[in-house]
Amino acid sequence: MARPPAHGSVVVPDWHETTEGKEYLACILRKSRRRVFGLLERPVLPPPVAIDTASYKIFVSGKSGVGKTALVAKLAGLEVPLVHHETTGIQTTVVFWPAKLQASNRVIMFRFEFWDCGESALKKFDHMLLACKENTDAFLFLFSFTDRASFEDLPGQLARIAGEAPGVVRMVIGSKFDQYMHTDVPERDLTAFRQAWQLPLLRVKSVPGRRLADGRTLDGWAGLADIAHVLNGLAEQLWHQDQVAAGLLPTSAENTPS
Amino acid sequence: MGEEGTGGSVHLLCLAASSGVPLFCRSSRGGAPSRQQLPFSVIGSLNGVHMFGQNLEVQLSSARTKDTTVVWKSFHDSITLIVLSSEEGTSELKLERLLQMVFGAMEALSGFAEAMGTGFVSLMVSGRVVSATEGWWRLGTPEAVLLPWLVGSLPPQAARDYPVYLPHGSPTVPHRLLTLTLLPGLELCLLCGPRPPLSQLGPQLLERWWQPVLDPLRACLPLGPRGLPYGFPLHKDILGLLLLHLELKRCLFTVEPLGDKGPSPEQRRRLLRHFYALVTSTHFPPEPLEKVEDDVSRAQLPRACYLVLGPGEPGTGLRLIALQLGLRLLLLLLAPQSPTHGLRSLATHTLHTLSPLL
């Protein structure tokens, strides 16, 4: 697998906070709330602005209870479930995210389809793991800062889940970072993991985001600010992967033995 | 039967070919949907003359009056469509094509089901089935009730692939329940075996099948809270209703038929539920009156009953009436101003109005 691109080298990192970025982001919000799109729908930009959409399938993997469903809900701007219960099958969530490319200054609408499946369903029904892995463009490996076993399970997960697809984007996310004070995974372990695996590693908080003035509705803008680094990270890795696959980027010096 | 005055009108009737039972009726005037409906007797006659011909092996395909053109068309011996048009410049050919298109739209769900290799497909809005294939309607009672509940109770997802055990149909071998959110709040549900994989039901395939019927799909969305099509005529005194079809084992239920004046939806639901429990345990038999063999006991069975909530109870003066006609049982919750002597005729009229829906 090609070495992952350096942070900020493919996608303009803080573009979503600029005036231009906010104009594009407005199409995935409605009255300051995140919009939910049906499968027959997509964000609509004002007529002179026509941008390309790049669609990707992302399989979210990780030990039971690390917060896969909660992470996906947070990325989609939905309520994070308060009580944990095992996901009984596969569920998919679509997230649209506009991002600006460094090289061409073009804006691309990324369409991420997150596949989330409960661990016991994966173990019980063979077809579910196959369905999740089939033609996936990226693997998102989750561990929890409050569950050391989930961190130690990562090498096993990486081999079991992504072992047969070495060329596919792999990213690691540490969840429940808000409980960092009680962490079971110290910084030196993260450093060692990064050095050994050369994979992008991001952190997310798992608490519900800020709410609007009514005290109930999630604030869409605040929610986007919380997760922009994850969506930009994915956009960056996936766009880079496509460029390499299309032979548009030199790969000779960057290859690591895999 | 043509329209006097300005602007032509079009009536479209869909009937079950074997029984002549109307499945739905739609009318338009000057190109806009209209509430005006043909009298039941006219619908019966139109179907009768077509069936009469068929029994004598004569195919009646069209007829003309001074200002109206009528076209009949049967599909697969199961559905008869009749269209009447008094619009200017209408031709039999144009109406026949229209019927073809209407049948095509009706087939979208079953065509999709066939292409996916399953007979069990439905469209749901907030846990209510708004349209389903024959196979889905034939599901046994526990799963027919539980599957919509399950889908209606889950947090929103673009798609799901859940293993489900069907208490009646397949208690030990799991089937797969696939759900696809076509529009927010509107889910396409498939019950199937190992195939098709969820990945096959991608946006491109869904767009090919469902983009052409996007407008009818959007029209389904208000059915979630209200349970009735937009603009459906109901008396203003009706605060809630429950219509049961005893043979099809389907029901139509709403506690938000019009505005939100009066008792809360929760209280309306509670009152209707208690009244249903009361009338089915003490007054009405659990099966259609026609199935009660003995003439004497049939004559003794009640066909209607009502009660008025007394003082001291929340919702004093609210009226509840139950009416059984043939295979249908209707329960109404009515506002206190509704005169008690008019309850039965209001219920009868409402039952007739609702009959094309269920």
Residue-wise pLDDT tens digits, A100-113: 999 999 999 999 99
Q: Does residue A163 sit in helix, strand or coil?
A: coil
Which of B177, B182, B199, B201 to mutate against chain A (most A CBs within 10 Å)? B199
> Cβ–Cβ of A81/B155 closer than 8 Å?
yes
Residues B342-354: pLDDT tens digits?
999 999 999 988 8
**What is this structure's pTM?**
0.79
Does residue A33 sit at the B interface (CB-CB below 8 Å)?
A: no
- Residues of chain A neighbouring B177 (CB-CB closer than 8 A): 89
Could you tell me if B229 and B26 are in contact, meaning their C-beta atoms sit under 8 angstroms apart?
no
DSSP character at residue B284: S
Per DSSP, what are the bridge partners of residue B24? Answer: B14
Whether residue B31 is predicted with pLDDT greater than 80 in this model: the reply is no
Average pLDDT, chain B: 85
d(CA B163, CA B215): 32
The pLDDT of residue B35 is 72
Whether residue A239 is predicted with pLDDT greater than 90 in this model: the reply is yes
Residues B322-332: pLDDT tens digits?
999 888 999 99
Which of A91, A93, A128, A132 to mutate against chain B (most B CBs within 10 Å)? A91
Residues A35-89: pLDDT tens digits?
999 999 999 887 777 889 999 999 999 999 999 999 999 999 998 888 888 999 9
Does residue A127 sit at the B interface (CB-CB below 8 Å)?
A: yes
d(CA B37, CA A73): 47
Residue B249's pLDDT band (cuts 50, 70, 90): confident
Residues B309-320: pLDDT tens digits?
988 777 889 999
Buried b (16+ CB within 10 A) or exposed e, A21-54: beebbbbbbeeeebbbbbbbbbbebeeeeeeeeb
Does residue A26 sit at the B interface (CB-CB below 8 Å)?
A: no
The pLDDT of residue A2 is 58
User: Count of CB atoms within 10 A of residue B14's CB?
Assistant: 20
Residue B124's pLDDT band (cuts 50, 70, 90): very high
Nearest Cα residue in chain A from B188: A39
Q: What angle do CA B277, B281, B287 make, to 5 degrees?
A: 105
d(CA A27, CA A45): 6
User: For residue A165, which phi and psi values (nearest 5 degrees)?
Assistant: -130, 65
* Fold classified for B9-104: Beta-Lactamase (3.30.450)
Which of A39, A75, A94 to mutate against chain B (most B CBs within 10 Å)? A39
Could you tell me if B88 and B9 are in contact, meaning their C-beta atoms sit under 8 angstroms apart?
no
Does residue B183 sit at the A interface (CB-CB below 8 Å)?
A: yes
Nearest Cα residue in chain B from A38: B183
> Cβ–Cβ of B182/A81 closer than 8 Å?
no
Out of 3.30.450, 3.30.70, 1.10.260, 3.20.190, the CATH code matching B110-225 is 3.30.450
d(CA A144, CA B18): 62
CATH architecture of A15-246: 3-Layer(aba) Sandwich (3.40)
* Fold classified for B234-357: Beta-Lactamase (3.30.450)
Nearest Cα residue in chain A from B213: A40
Whether residue A13 is predicted with pLDDT greater than 50 in this model: the reply is yes
> Cβ–Cβ of B199/A135 closer than 8 Å?
yes
The pLDDT of residue B3 is 39
> Cβ–Cβ of A91/B210 closer than 8 Å?
no
Does residue A128 sit at the B interface (CB-CB below 8 Å)?
A: yes
The pLDDT of residue B291 is 64
Average pLDDT, chain A: 89
Residue A133's pLDDT band (cuts 50, 70, 90): very high
Does residue A131 sit at the B interface (CB-CB below 8 Å)?
A: yes
Which of B181, B195, B211, B213 to mutate against chain A (most A CBs within 10 Å)? B181
Buried b (16+ CB within 10 A) or exposed e, B275-292: bbeebeeeebeeebbeee
Does residue B205 sit at the A interface (CB-CB below 8 Å)?
A: no
Mean pLDDT score, B240-265: 85
